[in-house]
Amino acid sequence: MAWLLVVVAGLLETGFAVSLKLSHSFTRLWPTIAFVIFALGSFGLLTLALRKLDVGPAYAVWTGIGAAGTAIYGMIFLGDVVSTLKIVSITLVIVGIVGLQLSGGAH
């Protein structure tokens, strides 16, 4: 259950990163509100998950999901540049997340 919270928190991290960009330095109301909601949800769920999980692997998974999700979203919906190196790098982040899970460091 704790890992599910980390995964959802990571997805919400993607939401707050994208909302932050769309807020244009907090000058647009609805993206700013979305940023606050996503950020509070993300940090809140991570906080709950850390009651049961080691901080290192949980934080790495949280940030990895957020980073990969944000990069993928940007390429698909925001016109960010798509390159082979970017796709390989995102794949390596995902492989790293899976590796952490398989390493036995998780409870």
Q: Please list the alpha-helical segments (H only) found in the chain.
A: 2-22, 29-49, 55-77, 84-102
DSSP symbol at 106: -
User: How far is it, in rounded angstroms, from Cα 12 to Cα 85?
Assistant: 25
Residue 104 has what pLDDT?
67
Per-chain mean pLDDT for the chain: 94
Residue 105 has what pLDDT?
54
Residue 97 has what pLDDT?
86
Residue 22 has what pLDDT?
98
Q: Which positions ≥6 away from 55 have C-beta within 8 Å?
A: none
Q: Is the pTM of this model over 0.85?
A: yes
Q: Which residues of the chain have pLDDT under 70?
A: 104-107
